[in-house]
């Protein structure tokens, strides 16, 4: 089995000659790769060190990112809107692709498609093939952006403070406002394995929001400043504001599996992941002055998530595709207050996503 052609241009690309021998990357590409690697390792090392040994330094660093938050959000939003418009333009192609797949679905081809070894029929060996014309998975890298809607069910909020306060508010209702500035958005990169191309490692950043409704009345238990609180009370008797509106942000590392062989343009996938919570918190206790409120980014806990969706390769260029996805994330948030208190809550985030992928690198397909 020989490789023909050349690898496509990308940050992991290497050229291959007609004899299959690899030649080094060009000098400029290698230089850029080394610089990027050094910067990435340095930043990652700093964040890990700061998070473990100097939490105050980590908080200061995170809040310096606030200045570019709006620009980053606008860029990702524009890219995701472009992906959504591309999806609209390709609806006809998607319908035709589904119609073409229907006979196979009726014959049980869908069951075979979820097996890693279920590949499309061998192509004509006289010409190279690409991922856009075959159901076979190829090693590749993808970058993507997305938008969507999120929904958070009610959850408990616990407040512990040095003034004798230890109380729990039951089933606090959260608003998501997914389409109000800054809207729900995210970005990701996936590296599909060289050895098992159906398996990939994905880094996923998600910017969701959660705002506690101030006008709600909640059940509660515990003490406030040493006094037993009533069983039901207005939320604003405890908090004037509690929200994660500049981001209920989480960064996760995920393992992803994709099922090939069902159809060359329809690729189901699923994955699970774990990561850290880095929300921008606004927490203002009732009875305190505004200057005592917390308004900053903090590392507050962990996130775990599961996801599943379909990638739609509906364009003539197999470098671009769109995806639809459902993702559920469980987040833990322990927010540190200025008076030494802690606000703790666990928020479940249901997410419905529409996004687009670009493939800057893909290994040439193999032929016999």
Among 197, 202, 295, 199, residue whose Cα is nearest residue 242:
295
Strand partners for 358: 143, 320
- Residue 328 lies inside a defined structural domain of this protein: yes
Q: Which residues contact 166 (CB under 8 A, 6 or more apart)?
A: 158, 159, 160, 222, 223
Under a CB-based contact definition with an 8 Å cutoff, are residues 237 and 217 in contact? no
Q: Is residue 22 part of a domain?
A: no
Q: Mean per-residue pLDDT for 142-165?
A: 95
Widest CA span in the chain: 83
Look at residue 193 and tell me if it is in a domain.
Answer: yes
Q: Higher-confidence residue: 72 or 163?
A: 163
Residue 36 lies in a domain: no
Rounded to whole angstroms, the Cα distance separating 324 from 311 reads 7
Residue 144 has pLDDT above 50, yes or no: yes
Residue 10 inside a domain? The answer is no
Upstream peptide bond of 182 is cis (omega within 30 degrees of 0): yes
pLDDT value of residue 304: 96
Mean pLDDT rounded to a whole number for the chain: 78
- What does the pLDDT read at residue 19? 47
pLDDT of residue 13: 47
User: Under a CB-based contact definition with an 8 Å cutoff, are residues 229 and 220 in contact?
Assistant: yes
Taking only the tens place, the pLDDT of each residue in 316-355 is 878 899 999 999 999 999 999 998 999 999 999 999 999 9
Residue 42 resides in a domain: no
Arithmetic mean of pLDDT, 213-220: 95
What's the pLDDT score for residue 215?
93
Tens-digit pLDDT profile for residues 173-191: 999 999 988 899 999 999 9
pLDDT confidence band for 10 (50 / 70 / 90): very low
| Bigger pLDDT: 6 vs 289 | 289
For residue 97, pLDDT over 60 is answered with: no
CATH at 71: 2.40.160.20
Q: Residue 6 — pLDDT band, cuts 50, 70, 90?
A: very low
- Given pLDDT bands bounded at 50, 70 and 90, which one contains residue 165? very high
- 140 Cβ contact partners less than 8 Å away, ≥ 6 residues apart: 131, 192, 197, 359, 361, 362, 363
Q: Once rounded to an integer, what is the mean pLDDT over residues 197-220? A: 95
CA 288 to chain centre: 36
Number of H helices, E strands in the chain: 5, 20
Exposure pattern of 30-54 as b/e (b: 16+ CB <10 Å)?
Answer: eeeeeeeeeeeeeeeeebeebbeee
Q: Quote the pLDDT of residue 176.
A: 93
In terms of Cα–Cα distance, which of 306, 304, 310 is closest to 262?
310
Band (73; pLDDT cuts 50, 70, 90): low
Mean pLDDT across the stretch 277-295?
A: 93
Quote the pLDDT of residue 55.
59
pLDDT beyond 80 at 94: no
Size (the chain), residues: 368
Q: Assess whether pLDDT exceeds 50 at residue 128.
A: no
Number of domains in the chain: 1
Residue 189 lies in a domain: yes
Spatial separation of the C-alpha atoms in residues 121 and 368, rounded to whole Å: 13
Q: Is 161 or 39 the better-scoring residue by pLDDT?
A: 161
Q: Containing domain of residue 157, as a range? A: 54-367
Domain membership of residue 28 (yes or no) is no
DSSP string, 141-172: EEEEEEEEEEE---EEEEEEETTTEEEEEEEE
* Structure confidence at residue 260 as a pLDDT band (50, 70, 90): confident
């Amino acid at each position: 089995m020989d490789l023909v052609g050349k690898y496509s241009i990308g940050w992991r690309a290497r050229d291959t000659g007609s004899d299959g021998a690899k030649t080094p990357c060009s000098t400029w590409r290698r230089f850029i790769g080394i610089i990027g690697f050094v910067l990435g390792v340095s930043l990652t090392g700093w964040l890990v060190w700061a998070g473990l040994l100097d939490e105050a330094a980590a908080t200061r660093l995170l809040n310096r990112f606030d200045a570019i938050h709006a620009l980053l959000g606008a860029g990702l939003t524009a890219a995701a809107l472009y992906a959504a418009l591309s999806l609209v333009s390709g609806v006809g192609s998607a319908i035709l692709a589904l119609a073409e797949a229907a006979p196979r679905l009726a014959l049980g081809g869908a069951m075979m498609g979820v097996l890693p070894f279920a590949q499309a029929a061998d192509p004509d060996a006289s010409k190279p093939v690409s991922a856009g014309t075959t159901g076979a998975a190829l090693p590749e890298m993808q970058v993507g952006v997305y938008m969507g809607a999120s929904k958070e069910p009610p959850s408990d909020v616990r407040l512990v403070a040095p003034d004798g306060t230890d109380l729990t508010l039951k089933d606090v209702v959260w608003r998501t406002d997914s389409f109000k500035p800054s809207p729900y958005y995210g970005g990701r990169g996936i590296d599909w394995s060289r050895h098992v191309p159906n398996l990939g490692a994905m880094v996923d950043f998600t910017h969701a929001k959660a705002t506690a409704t101030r006008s709600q009345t909640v059940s509660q238990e515990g003490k406030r400043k040493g006094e037993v609180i009533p069983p039901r009370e207005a939320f604003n008797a405890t908090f004037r504001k509690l929200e994660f509106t500049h981001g209920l942000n989480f960064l996760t590392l995920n393992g992803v599996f994709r099922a090939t062989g069902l159809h060359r343009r329809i690729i189901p996938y699923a994955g699970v992941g774990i990561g850290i919570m880095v929300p921008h918190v606004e927490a203002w206790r009732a009875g305190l002055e505004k200057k005592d409120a917390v308004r900053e980014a903090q590392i507050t806990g962990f996130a775990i998530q599961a996801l599943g969706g379909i990638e739609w390769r509906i364009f003539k260029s197999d470098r671009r595709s769109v995806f639809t996805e459902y993702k559920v994330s469980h987040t833990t948030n322990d927010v540190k207050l200025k008076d030494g208190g802690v606000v703790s809550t666990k928020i479940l985030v249901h997410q419905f996503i529409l996004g687009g992928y670009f493939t800057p690198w893909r290994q040439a397909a193999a032929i016999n």
